[in-house]
Amino acid sequence: MGPRSVRTCAIGLLLLLLGAAGAAVSAPPDAIAATGVTVSFSTDTVAIGKGASRTVILLIDNQSTSPLTDVNITFASDPGITAVPDHPPTGVGAGESSAIPVTVTFDSTTRSGATNAVVTFGRGGSGRSAVVSTLQVKDEPPATAEPAPVTVEASAGKATLLQYQSTDVFFTIANTSDQPQKLTSATVSYPSSLSVSQLAPSGRTVDGANGRLALAELDQLGPGDRSIVHLHLDATDALQPGTALMVLSVQAVNQVNQRATTAVASQALTFEVLGESGVLTVLGVPALLFVPGLVFVLVLWSLWTYVWPRKKDATAKAGLDAKSITLWVFALLPTLSLPFLYPAITGWLGERRDYRRSYGLDDILYVWLLAAGMALALWAAIVVVRTIMVELFVPQEGQTGLKVLSVFALRCWDRSLEREAFTSASGQELALLRRQGDGRVLVAPLILYDTGKLDGKDLARFQKDLSKKPMRTWFLLLNRRKDTNPDFQQGAVLKPAVLNPADLTKRDLPVVLLRPRS
């Protein structure tokens, strides 16, 4: 027994039970009309996708002179079809009608089926009646999108553009419909760092601005016609290396039914900075990440090694160890600061540039020069500071007696005037000032001063033990230098000099560098 036979038997059994109860059942059309009550769906057939639902309207029309009471709506459906009424009425007045939304769900594996709405009701004292309406349900095929009447296509999958160079991009606009299409507008959107122009069919050039270009000389395309858009790209400003998109948006109107259409296509652009890939290939490090630090280290090392203070040991190993962690850490320090310093420095000098946003070959050159300048400035600062430090705190060859005393007076270490003593080959008494890094020693003759012109108070101050008070000693001699005439003891060595310890005889007891003339 098939689904339809089951449904027919169910309806017949329902009507038979109603007749046995004394109800007037009107199944045939003429009998239904005779009751004055009609039941119908808003459509004879509804298409529903598998597993989907749709709402239809069930109309109960009471054209009789008696109201309908105790209205009941039931559905007898094929397998896989369910119907649920939304707020069914309990009664319908004489001469009135009621519209009931019914949600129909189609879960069947078959392609079609049906549902029957059975409406039973009471009317006066005549017992109950029943009216039936059938709704056919069929499978709705999936919707297919209509092909676009106008299409836009980029000619190349990806275009590569280097700074200071140019390239051409082509788009094809095609009318794929069987009706004429008029192109009403076409706009190209692109990165604002580019200069883009259209080479129009007439030969004239149309330039874009601020990342937008409105195409000129748009034509009407007949069925199957095509139009080529020729765009010329120049990269004269700084770029952000990577990938970007150029988008062409076209609006068209069908000349038969005036239907508007929009078509969009994009062209992928790859930006590269001229020379950067070569630096990466040769050095193996990014041009703006590590190279400025390497330039900084190389310039500083070159100045330190070959200019000042120079590498005096000819046998020592020269050069930089590329595998040294210290080298790379030292190279990274200026590199990490340059992204913040570069915009401020370039803004102070003129046009503000920020390579964190976009950059070109100019920026690579400027950053390298800035790194070299930073190395030069650091080296110069070290030279100046070291020169001042040496001048103030380190005894040197050829200094005067007062200058040697000022060195011991101003520094915070090894300040005592009681020094290690040596005797030269000629018998001259010498005091050690410092030992050289090469093993030699810097020695000086004793500093003698006159006391004949000093009065009692000043003489008493000079006669105190001043060997451990270099600041007071230097200050007194400096203020009374005309009276005390401090100078080195005459002999073979007249001023501080660097000598070989092998040429000197070391004495057991130390000697005070400063003493009065006898």
Into how many domains does the chain fold?
Answer: 4
In this prediction, residues 427-452 reach a mean pLDDT of: 93
Predicted confidence (pLDDT) at residue 32 exceeds the cutoff of 50: no
CATH code for position 125: 2.60.40.10
Domain-terminating residue out of 361, 387, 413: 387
Name, of 329-333, 354-358, 401-405, 463-467, the range with top average pLDDT. 401-405
Picking from 365, 387, 409, the residue at the C-terminal end of a domain is 387
Domain hosting 266: range is 150-272
Q: Which of 7-16, 71-80, 223-232 has the lowest mean pLDDT?
A: 7-16
Same-domain check for residues 254 and 291: no
Residue 321 lies inside a defined structural domain of this protein: yes
Alpha helices in 251-324, H assignment, sequence order: 276-283, 291-302
Query: Is 145 a domain residue?
Result: no
pLDDT at 508: 93
- What is the per-residue pLDDT across 148-180, written as a single tens digit (0 to 9) for each? 899 999 987 678 888 788 899 999 999 999 999
pLDDT given at position 491: 92
pLDDT: which is higher, 283 or 155: 155
Residue 111 lies in a domain: yes
What is the per-residue pLDDT for 279? 57
Higher pLDDT, 437 or 212: 212
CB crowding 203-239: b at 16 or more within 10 Å, else e:
eeeeebeeeebebeebeebeeeeebebebebebeebb
Question: How much is the pTM?
Answer: 0.53
Inside any domain, residue 495: yes
Q: What is the pLDDT of residues 40-51, one digit of tens each?
A: 998 999 988 888
Start-to-end CA distance of the chain, whole Å, equals: 148
Give the pLDDT of residue 393.
Answer: 94
Question: Phi then psi for 153, rounded to 5 degrees?
Answer: -140, 135
What does the pLDDT average to over 211-225? 93
Res 423: pLDDT: 95
Categorize the per-residue pLDDT at 26 as very low, low, confident or very high, splitting at 50, 70 and 90.
very low
- 242 and 357 share one domain: no
Same domain, 56 and 123: yes
State the pLDDT confidence band at 145, using cuts at 50, 70 and 90. Answer: low
Least trusted range by pLDDT, from 59-73, 136-150, 316-330, 457-471: 316-330
Query: How does 381-412 read in b/e, with b if 16+ C-beta sit within 10 Å?
Result: eeeeeeeeeeeeeebeeebebeebbbbbbeee
| Structure tokens belonging to residue 215 | 């195409």
Domain membership of residue 395 (yes or no) is no
Tell me the per-residue pLDDT of 250-282, one tens digit each, with 9 for 90 and over: 999 999 999 999 999 999 998 887 666 555 554
Any domain includes 95: yes
Integer Cα distance of 295 and 285 in angstroms? 12
Asked whether residue 298 is domain-assigned, the answer is: yes
Say whether pLDDT at 31 is over 80: no
